[in-house]
Amino acid sequence: MSTTTVAHHDEHQEHPTGIMRWLTTTNHKDIGTMYLTFSLVMFLVGGCMILGIRAELFKPGLQLMNPEFFNQLIGVHALIMIFAALMPAATGFANWMLPLQLGAPDMALPRLNNWGFWILPPSAVLLTLPFTLALFGIGDGALATGWTFYPPLSIQGGLGVDFAIFAIHLLGISSVLGSINIIVTIFNMRAPGMTLMKMPLFAWGWLITAFLLIATIPVLAGAVTMLLTDRHFGTHFFNAAGGGDPIMFQHLFWFFGHPEVYILLLPVWGFIPQILQTFSRKPMYGYKAQVYSLWGIGALSVVVWAHHFFAAGMPVPALLYFMYSTMAISLPLAVLFYCWIRTMWKGSMSFETPMLFTVGWIILFGIGGLTGLVLADVAADAQYHNSYFVVAHFHYTLFAGGIMGIMAGVYYWLPKMTGHMYNEKLGKLHFWLTAISFNVTFIPQFFVGLAGMPRRIPDYALQFAEFNMISSIGAFVLGLSQLLLVYNIISCVRGGQKATDRVWEGAVGLEWTLPSPPPYHSFTEQPVVK
Amino acid sequence: MQGMKKLGASAFALFYSLSARADYTFNFPEPVTPMALDTLHVHNKFMLITAVIFVVVLAIMIYSIVKHRHDKGYKPVVDKAPSTAMEIFWTLVPFAILLLIDFVIMGIPAYHSVVVMEDTRDQSTMVIKITGSQWRWQYEYLDGDAKGIKFVSNLTTTNGQMHNEEDKGEHYLLEVDNPLVLPVGEKVRILMTAADVLHNWWVPQFGSARVAVPGFIRETWVQVEKPGVYRGQCKELCGKGHGYMPVVVNAISKEEFAEWANKKQEEQKAANDVKEMTKDELLAQGKTVYEKNCAVCHQVTGAGLPPAFPALTGSKIATGPIFGADGKYQKDSHLDRVLNGKGVMPAWKATLNDTEIAAVMTYERNALGNAASVDAVVQPAQVKAARE
């Protein structure tokens, strides 16, 4: 950039309009908006898939679909929710908020940022295209192995598996590019005076997430590539007849898969305390303790993977090691819970929608965490493993702990992003409907799992019928309530009461010093942090 | 409070009326093995501890939510980090409690459970081998009274029930033709493997589950303490029939077991005797074998589900020549495919006996719209010869 443009930088608000603005943009807010929009669309797509499943499971018998199609829906639902809904939502917030929170003009690597986003839509197409191709008689539909790709089933599978493998490659590249950008931004673009231990917790959460992604995505990419060569080029990595081992895939997959859980949760753990301090009107408790705990969880997350397949068989010392190391995660997590609640304690709390989602999030994520602790027990895991108990457990961590956290963030930052206040009444209605119907959906799944219903079955024995019916009703209410979220966001973008710069009475941090919405180029002069 | 109680009671009543038919439960089903009993204890203890933690923490939160409100004019305090020795001590107490729960209260019993669970050999009195395949279980007794007994266990729930054309039976999807028979009170060592993809042999009342891995042997054990029929399912996604491969175990007394073993051994010997059969006999038996084993992929009509599962009607393999000029079966012939499988098609040589293979092949070559011009009838003796 030449010196003359720098001189005129303040007035530089023009940019291409229409579709070209979005295709060519390197602006962190535009890209953040695209990530968040993509995430919302895919959240609805993945949601429709699971409503198909819940409709089929409404009562015993095969009503709506054959088992092949059922198997395709469950796997693609999971991949879409994890890779195309939850992860892009967190990346969207990172794009929007990290430069604002760190006092930077933009992300460090804007072109890479653009590329990182535009890889996502093609990969979503790759994931879902086999459904459409099957309608025209090409192939036999999408990936039908569940999202975990376990061989030898995935070696038997049709072209849906290949499509999913390439989709994973693209999604992985996108995540790694995003992570590099975030790490570089955090290390280089902080405002003068903002030492690492002064930066907002959201940046810490994302920094650790980014390192975890860079450490584990290549392992996943390698594992699915080995699967691809086993499928088409005659290798035998996962075939015992050729000296391979199907269980090796599970080790590789979960070496990525377990940290992935924390990849989804760490950004949320970053901004939840910021929301808590805003609405408790009191600085977050134990900032340093939280930073160290986040690091502790990040480190532990890469050494506990085998607890996902205790039942696959491993030596006793390995069982014991993975059991005890998994239990150890409860220690840093307990510190976080303590700090969250201590932030609320003797604050001056008010309960606008973001705070409602945050409090609901703490309670429901708590249930996910506690049931996770008992799942670590190897002997009991033989029963829980692959039963609906596990399904309920990870939806408490990933829907309640992940998506409800994201929703708290959406309501918290929406006025800052759009410059308008959302409709508080509808926001609260959305919270209550979501929280209640979520529990109606998943509490019965704990019981039905304990009673002996395996996951991923298209039809079930009669003793599971009542709980499944309740769960399906809950799921439909949960799904329909999300239309309120869509309505709230759209109406907030279109207009509404003007938001102030600070938006919330108790908000602290650099993002609240800018106007709402912030100018196209965030900080033209670097703020100084004391 | 009274109102809450009424609300709770009516919700409970509603729940109960919904479940007039079912014996639903909020916990594990009644354990019948030492391992399942142990699991139930671990589960109950853990649930109690976590429930107490949850309720205490929730109570503190709710107290704070009610008390420390902006609209009640509550002024926020300024937090201080723990600094005095006393404060640091009290900060460390929750850590100590958590460590105690994790690694002592839960950790020590868990250690013993794992050691017991993994000890498959000590005091075991018999060994059976379980092979999972798409989508049925195969059982084989390797020693003792029942040595050599080997059979396949298939789902018997009818298609009509699954598609809501008939009323569903009491054990819908959890019923089989040949249940595994086990003697009560004996520690049975189980060797687990699979023929094609991963499976997991699971009976909730036994508390043991182990993934069956093709090409590897995994071990577990059961010791059923109470006579009865116990039902479970495969719990590792294994393809389109994953929901249709139930486990049924019939646990009987040792005496009854010895009797059963004797009878079964003789039956099996008779079935393995190879004798010349007429075409009609082969067709009749072939139809049964076909519908039990083959129809799930190739369909009852033989139309298949292309492209994954090819049609048998008009198939070159199912109507073409089997035996070459030397009298041996040819590569990629019908018999080769049935015996040895290829790709998704499983190998049946370990699952079906000579008579069954001869019968099902004769059926496929003369029914399903086919009329093979060569090798129209396959005799059990020919299959037996082909195995050698």
Nearest CA in chain B to A465: B22
Residue contact B19–A146, C-beta within 8 A? no
Residue A522: φ, ψ to 5°: -60, -80
- Contacts with A184 (C-beta within 8 Å, 6 or more apart), sequence order: A108, A109
pLDDT digits (tens, 9 = 90+) for A266-293: 999 999 999 999 999 999 999 999 999 9
Whether A298 contacts A269, CB under 8 Å:
no
pLDDT higher than threshold 80 for residue A530: no
Domain boundaries, chain A: 19-513
Of the listed ranges A170-184, A313-327, B312-326, the one predicted with least confidence: B312-326
Give A 58-77 residues with CB within 8 A of chain B.
60-63, 66-68, 71
Which is nearest to B133 in space by CA: B293, B16, B364?
B293
A506, A278 Cβ separation under 8 angstroms: yes
Instruction: Give residues with Cβ within 8 angstroms of B241, minimum separation 6.
Output: A67, B134, B135, B296
> Mean pLDDT across the stretch A24-45?
94
Q: What angle do CA A309, A312, A316 make, to 5 degrees?
A: 90
A117, A174, A181, B131 from A113: Cα distances, Å:
6, 9, 7, 51
Q: pLDDT by residue (tens digit) across A396-405?
A: 999 999 999 9
- Is A2 a residue whose pLDDT tops 50? no
Task: Give me the pLDDT at residue A28, please.
Answer: 93
HEC readout, A134-174: HHCCCCCCECCCCCCCCCCHHHHCCHHHHHHHHHHHHHHHH
Tell me, what's the pLDDT at B14? 46
Q: Between chains, do A456 and B237 touch, taking CB under 8 Å as contact?
A: yes
Residues B42 and A379: beta-carbon distance below 8 Å: yes
CB contact under 8 A, B69 and A311: no
pLDDT band at A258 (very low <50, low <70, confident <90, very high): very high
* ipTM value for the complex: 0.89
Confidence check: pLDDT of A298 > 70: yes
A-chain residues within 8 Å CB-CB of B240? 66-68, 71, 144
| Chain B residue numbers touching A60 (CB-CB < 8 A) | 168, 172-173
Q: From edge to edge, which strands make up the β-sheet containing B246-252? A: B180-183, B246-252, B228-234, B199-203, B208-212
Cβ A373–B307 below 8 Å, yes or no? no
pLDDT confidence bin for A217, thresholds 50/70/90:
very high
- DSSP H helices in A233-329: 246-280, 287-301, 316-328
The 10 Å Cβ neighbour count of residue B1 is 5
Find all residues with CB under 8 Å of B12, minimum gap 6, and list them. none
The DSSP-derived string for B31-92 is: P-SHHHHHHHHHHHHHHHHHHHHHHHHHHHHHHHHHHSBGGGTPPPPPP----SHHHHHHHH
Residue A7 has a pLDDT of: 39
Give the per-residue pLDDT at A4: 40
3-state SS assignment for residue A454: strand
What residue type is assigned to position A138 of the chain? I
Distance CA B364, CA B322 (A): 13
| Residue in chain B lying closest to A65 (CA) | B163
Check B237 against A374: CB less than 8 A apart. Answer: no
**Mean pLDDT calculated for residue range A92-101:** 95
Query: CA A215: distance to chain centroid?
Result: 18
Residue A478 C-alpha, separation from nearest chain B C-alpha, in angstroms: 20
The pLDDT value given to residue A526 = 84
Domains of chain B in start order, with CATH, are 31-118 (no CATH), 126-160+172-264 (2.60.40.420), 279-387 (1.10.760.10)
Tell me what the pLDDT averaged over chain A comes to.
92
Closest Cα of chain A to B209: distance in Å? 5
Residue B342 has which token pair? 């290829």
Between A80 and B95, name the one with better pLDDT: A80
pLDDT-derived band at A12 (thresholds 50, 70, 90) equals: low
Tokens representing residue B56 in the block = 């205490």
- Asked if A102 contacts A189 with a C-beta cutoff of 8 angstroms, the reply is yes
Tell me the chain A residues in contact with residue B54 when contact means C-beta distances shorter than 8 Å: 366-367, 370
Torsions phi, psi of B181, nearest 5?
-110, 130
Judged against a pLDDT cut of 50, whether residue A305 lies above it is answered with yes
B327 in A contact zone (CB under 8 Å): no
Beta bridge partners of B27: none
Between positions 273 and 312 of B, the ones with CB within 8 A of A are 307-308
How far is residue A378's CA from residue A375's CA, in Å, rounded to a whole number? Answer: 7
Q: Please state the rounded mean pLDDT for residues A56-60.
A: 94
Cβ contact, residue pair A139, B75, below 8 Å: no
Which residues of chain B are under the pLDDT cut of 50? 1-4, 6-7, 10, 12-22
pLDDT at A121 over 60: yes
Task: For residue A410, give the nearest of A90, A106, A22 by alpha carbon.
Answer: A90
B96/A259 Cα distance (integer angstroms): 26
Cβ-defined contact of B218 to A313 (cutoff 8 Å):
yes
Of B23, B46, B115, the CB nearest to A374: B46
**Inter-chain CB pairs, A–B, below 8 Å:** 285
**pLDDT tens sequence across A404-454:** 999 999 999 999 999 999 999 999 999 999 999 999 999 999 999 999 999
Architecture of the domain delimited by A19-513? Up-down Bundle (1.20)
**What pLDDT is stored for residue B23 in this prediction?**
52
Categorize the per-residue pLDDT at A1 as very low, low, confident or very high, splitting at 50, 70 and 90: very low
B41 at A interface, C-beta within 8 A: no
Which among B275, B276, B279, B274 is positioned nearest to B376, based on CA atoms? B279
Chain B, 227 to 246: residues with Cβ < 8 Å from chain A are 231-244
Asked if omega into B307 is within 30° of 0 (cis), the reply is yes
Q: What percent of chain A has pLDDT over 70?
A: 97
Whole-number pLDDT of residue B351:
80
Q: Which residues 356-385 of chain B have a CB within 8 Å of chain A?
A: none
> Which two structure tokens, joined as six digits, stand for A78?
């999971």
Instruction: Say if residues B210 and A313 touch (Cβ distance below 8 Å).
Output: yes
Element of type H or E holding B231: strand B228-234
Q: What pLDDT band is residue A127 in, cutting at 50, 70 and 90? A: very high
Grouping H, G, I as helix, E, B as strand and the rest as coil, residue A66 is coil
